[in-house]
Amino acid sequence: MRPASYALIGSAVLIAPAANAATITITLPRLPIAEYKKPYVAGWVEPAGGGAPRSLFVWYDLKKGGNEPGTKWLSDLRSWWRKSGRNLSLPADGISGATKSPGSYAVPLPADLPPGNYVVNVEAARENGGRELVSVPIKVPGAAGRAAGKTELGAVIVAAK
């Protein structure tokens, strides 16, 4: 491990200092729907050959409590919940965030990923709407790749800074 990597652990929002710095840009499409609700979206990275997935972010209704809290619908992010989300203690520092309006959002890829092949996954689920998973294979170092969803997600682009 490079010493620089430790600065990032548990704090994905800090600016990555050097070599491996890469950003994931997620586009949430504007959907022509009357009763549009902002989607739940989660992102994680997992080794291409299998291994422990690592959550990067999850955007959900953090504030809603009561009988049907915002966390109730986290399992609608089916893949993320099964692979990573359900093992997290939520809200998780540097991971949990509020839902986002349509637009493009940048999230840093952890700079401490050991060299190798990975898959960056972004999953979206919308109330009374669909669910979509977009997977982008990348190679670290030099992470770069892109893929696009058809319905709930627009482009997911991984690019070096």
Partner 1 sequence: MQRWARPLLLAALLAPTAALADHSFILPSNTNVSGTNTMVTFDAAGSEHVFFFDHRPIQLAAIRIWKPDGTPGESVNGVQGRFRSVFDVKLDQPGTWKVAAEQKMITGSFKLNGEERRVGGRGGAPRAGQPGPGGPGQPGEARPASGQRGSEGGEPRGPGGARGPGEGGARRMPPVAFEDIPAEATDVHLTEIANRVETFVTLGAPTTTIFKPTGKGMELEPVTHPNAIAAGETARFRFLIDGKPAAGLKVTVVPGGDRYREDVGTIELATGADGVVAVTWPHAGMYWLGAEATDDNPSEKRAEARRMSYAATFEVMTP
Sites of contact with partner 1 (CB under 8 A) = 66-69, 71-75, 78-79, 81-82, 85-87, 131, 133
Residue 26: Cβ-neighbour burial (10 angstroms; 0-12, 13-18, 19+): buried
Nearer to partner 1 among residue 25 and residue 75 (C-beta): 75
Q: How far is the CB of 81 from partner 1 (least distance, A)?
A: 6
CA 31/CA 67 separation, integer angstroms: 29
Nearer to partner 1 among residue 87 and residue 104 (C-beta): 87
Q: How far is the CB of 83 from partner 1 (least distance, A)?
A: 9
Nearer to partner 1 among residue 16 and residue 156 (C-beta): 156
Q: How far is the CB of 72 from partner 1 (least distance, A)?
A: 3
Nearer to partner 1 among residue 30 and residue 150 (C-beta): 150
Which strand (E) or helix (H) includes residue 81?
A: helix 78-83
Which tokens in the block code for residue 5? 């990597």
- Tell which phi-psi region holds residue 66, choosing left (phi > 0), alpha (psi between -120 and 50) or beta: left
Q: How far is the CB of 74 from partner 1 (least distance, A)?
A: 4
Q: Return the number of other C-beta atoms located less than 10 Å from residue 130's C-beta.
A: 14
